[in-house]
Structure 1
Amino acid sequence: MTNLKVGVQLHPQATTVANLREAWKAADAMGVDSIWIWDHFYPLYGDPSAPHFEAYTLLAALAADTSHARLGALVTCNSYRNPQLLADMSRTIDHISDGRFTLGIGSGWFERDYEEYGYAFGTAIERLHKLRDDLPVIKDRLAKLTPPPMGPLPILIGGSGEKVTLKLVAEHADGWNTFGPAENFAAKNAILDEWCQKVGRNPADIERTVAIGATDIDQWEGLAEAGATHFIVMTGDPFDLDPVAQLQAAVHA
């Protein structure tokens, strides 16, 4: 299945910048299709006081250090940055990468980030409505910037809410990310197709990505049958890229 893609998400927690740079350089040299980090301020698992690094400053370094893979945050929390500024940051990183940046974005969910950094957490639907309102602002600013993005600068939305999130994907996104297992992915994928029909969007215009654990790469065939075309292997330090290489070999066999 040569049309399938393989990427990696490197967790910027319990690690060093040196280790992250070594890992994303190695992943790029392997020919992965995409390299991602996440957008949080504190660890999501393990020791809650472990080291952690901010996403967009890392992404600028990732853009400069690599030459092949597409890159982005899986996914940016929309609440953390003014949407006009986020568009400009994304455009600038796109230029640093020679046009390889993808703006992955979602409505946000990790309450500790909000509380400790002074953002209003609100409710899930309030955060979704803010994302709904900010997406057109981001797209409008991207269209106004001088110079414009160097590459296509696609927007990828992460999430699986059937009433709001998937509608936003159909309306605004070039890519969509969620999780398995295959049954879950298939069900959400079908609902996204329904939203595309309702809003007049060609479902084929939206890339379907799935985030999978390093120990779950054997599930790729079921996920592919469910509609996934881009597999993103999630890993923390120590950054073992062997499962990524194994998945590359399997999907391209």
Structure 2
Amino acid sequence: MLLDTPVRIGVQIEPQHATYAQIRDAVSRLEEMGVDILFNWDHFFPLFGDPDGAHFESWTMLGAWAEQTERVEFGSLVSCNSYRNADLQADMARTLDHISGGRFIFGTGSGWFQRDYDEYGYEFGTPGSRLNDLAAGLDRVEARWERVNPAPTRRIPVLIGGKGEQKTLRIVARHADIWHSFVAPEDLPHKISVIERWGETDGRDVSGLLVSNELKRRDEGVADALFEAGARLFTLGWAPSDPDYDTVRRWLRWRDGKNGA
């Protein structure tokens, strides 16, 4: 695992219950403050609050962020593999990579929010079938990146979320550059060891994997414990309709303290 890499702070701007003007302003301010990565999420309806409240689509928004920003990396935490053809996702990701000058992160997962599937006409399947589809989809994404013209500007980082040991973490070991989860500090070493074992089984070196975790409703004590367990990317879920910049500043100070700034 990447234990010698600097700590990075991400902010997941929730694309719900807000105007796009509020989201756009948040993107600008958070980049100016020094946040390392900006994320949204890939759903079609709010995840909490009014279930029929305002909500915006992920990938369209990411295209706007690619043009709006200059320094910060960005992506979806995470895109749903089920909602778009895998080869199309690869081409969309490659295009965002070029628009942004190589700052796009391809976050992906198998999907879970049944309302999205039902209302937009996707087959929900089972957790197992969706994970199988994710594994096959990532093979196609990576193969498409080898064929598109122009090629991506860099090896586009792949972020995969989840913690299931039999399927999800094997997919992480095969494909991910970043692994994101909500795993507690005391459980993180075991999950990392599972990824390492799958890497040995499948012949992929996972020593460069960046371990990512969540900050929302957590304090510095938990973050310190996650750091000691190997996490280096920490992401804060954040509402642009009620922007709490003071909390972001607090976590940026914590980051800088860890990095000796």
Q: Same fold (TM over 0.5)?
A: yes
Are positions 1:93 and 2:83 aligned together?
no
Q: 2:152 aligns with which of 149, 154, 158?
A: 149
Q: 1:60 aligns with which of 54, 58, 63?
A: 63
Check conservation: 2:196, 2:206, Cα contact below 8 A.
yes
TM-score (norm 1): 0.95
Are positions 1:216 and 2:218 aligned together?
yes
Whole-Å Cα distance in 1 between the matches of residues 85 and 203 of structure 2? 29
1:48-127, aligned counterparts within 5 Å? 48-127=51-130
Are positions 1:38 and 2:35 aligned together?
no
Are positions 1:174 and 2:177 aligned together?
yes
Superposition deviation, residue 56 in structure 1: 0.1
Superposition deviation, residue 242 in structure 1: 2.1
Amino acid at match of 2:62: L
Q: Which residue of 1 aligns with 2:204?
A: 201
Check conservation: 2:5, 2:232, Cα contact below 8 A.
no
Whole-Å Cα distance in 2 between the matches of residues 158 and 186 of structure 1? 16
Q: Secondary structure at the match of 1:95?
A: helix
Amino acid at match of 2:90: A
Distance 1:2 1:84, change over 3 A: closer
Determine what percentage of the aligned residue pairs are the same residue. 42
TM-score (norm 2): 0.93
| Equivalent residues, number | 252
Amino acid at match of 2:256: H
Whole-Å Cα distance in 2 between the matches of residues 98 and 217 of structure 1? 34
Whole-Å Cα distance in 2 between the matches of residues 81 and 138 of structure 1? 11
Whole-Å Cα distance in 2 between the matches of residues 133 and 203 of structure 1? 20
Range that drifts further, 191-200 or 81-90: 191-200
Superposition deviation, residue 204 in structure 1: 2.1
Check conservation: 1:83, 1:137, Cα contact below 8 A.
yes
Q: Secondary structure at the match of 2:35?
A: coil
Check conservation: 2:66, 2:96, Cα contact below 8 A.
yes
For structure 1, list consecutive stretches of 5 or more residues without a partner in the other structure.
none
Whole-Å Cα distance in 2 between the matches of residues 179 and 68 of structure 1? 27
Whole-Å Cα distance in 2 between the matches of residues 7 and 134 of structure 1? 26
Superposition deviation, residue 250 in structure 1: 1.3
Check conservation: 2:36, 2:73, Cα contact below 8 A.
yes
For structure 2, list consecutive stretches of 5 or more residues without a partner in the other structure.
none
Q: Secondary structure at the match of 1:120?
A: coil
How large is the RMSD of aligned CA atoms in angstroms?
A: 1.4
